Amino acid sequence: MRYDTDFLYLKSGGIFLETSKLELLLAGTRIIPSVNSAEGLKCVLTKTSLPCVMLKLGDINTLPKIIRLIHQYGRKAVVHQDSIKGLARDRTSIDFLSRLGADAVVTMKPQCVRWIKEEEMLSILGLFLIDTNALATGIQSINESRPDAGLVMPMTIPGSIYEAILRQIRVPLLAGGLGMEEALVTAALDNGALAAAVTKPALWQTIGS
C-alpha cells in the first residue's frame, strides 16, 4: 500500500480508500464536459447537471465573465491553460486564474503544477502520449511534480498503456481527446481513467447521467 497526502491507493487493485480532491470536484460523475464554444457552454449549464466544466474557449478578457457564469450555475470551472487566448504558461497567469476563482487548472507545463497548488486550485497535468518517449517523460513529470491528477491524451490509447501508467504513478488519471463515440469513452473509463473529458454534448447525457 502506498500513501499520498490526498488519498490512499492500493497498487494491486487501484482502489482509492479516501476521497481525493479530484473526486470532490467530480461529485460522483465520470464525465467532464469540455467546451470550446458559447453554444457548448450554454448546453452544459442549462441542459445537464454535471458538476464541473472544462473551459477551452475565450480569452483573458472574457474569461472572468465565463467563470462567474459557471459559478452562478453552481458548477466548478476547470480552466485549460493552453486553450485560453492570451494566457501564458507562467506564474503571473496562475495568479490571474486564482484571482478569477478558477477551481482547477489543466496545464501542460510541470513547473506550473507547484504554482497552481500554492494557489489552492486543483492541479491537472496533461500528457500527450505520442510515443514511448512521451510516455516515459509523462510518467516522470507526474511523479516529480505531483499534480492532483494526470490527464492522458488521447483517451484512445490501449488498455496496456493505461495499466503501465497507473502502475507507476500515485495520482488519479483522467482521459481526454478523440472521445467521439460512447464506446471510446467507456473504454477509457474501463481501462482505469477516473473520468473522461468529452466535447460531444450527446455523450454528456448518455454517459454522464
Residue 3 pairs in a beta bridge with 8
In angstroms, the CA 123 to CA 145 distance is 10
Residue carrying C-alpha cell 464541473:
52
pTM: 0.90
**Structure confidence at residue 209 (pLDDT):** 54
The burial of 209, by beta-carbon neighbours within 10 Å (0-12 exposed, 13-18 middle, 19 or more buried), is given as: exposed
| Domain spans, the chain | 25-208
**Would you write out the chain's pLDDT as a tens digit for each of its 209 residues?**
232 434 434 433 444 445 678 888 999 999 999 999 999 999 999 999 999 999 999 999 999 999 999 999 999 999 999 999 999 999 999 999 999 999 999 999 999 999 999 999 999 999 999 999 999 999 999 999 999 999 999 999 999 999 999 999 999 999 999 999 999 999 999 999 999 999 999 999 888 65
**Structure confidence at residue 208 (pLDDT):** 66
| β 15-16/8-10 pair status | antiparallel
Q: How far is CA 154 from the centre of its chain?
A: 13
**Are 70 and 76 a contacting pair, CB within 8 Å?**
yes
**Structure confidence at residue 95 (pLDDT):** 99
**Structure confidence at residue 19 (pLDDT):** 61
CATH for the 25-208 domain, from 3.40.50.300, 3.40.190.10, 2.60.200.20, 3.20.20.70: 3.20.20.70
> What does the pLDDT look like over 47-87, one tens digit per residue?
999 999 999 999 999 999 999 999 999 999 999 999 999 99
Q: With the C-alpha atoms ordered 190, 102, 129, 132, is the resulting torsion angle positive or negative?
A: negative
Give the closest residue to 16 by CA, choosing from 29, 4, 32: 4
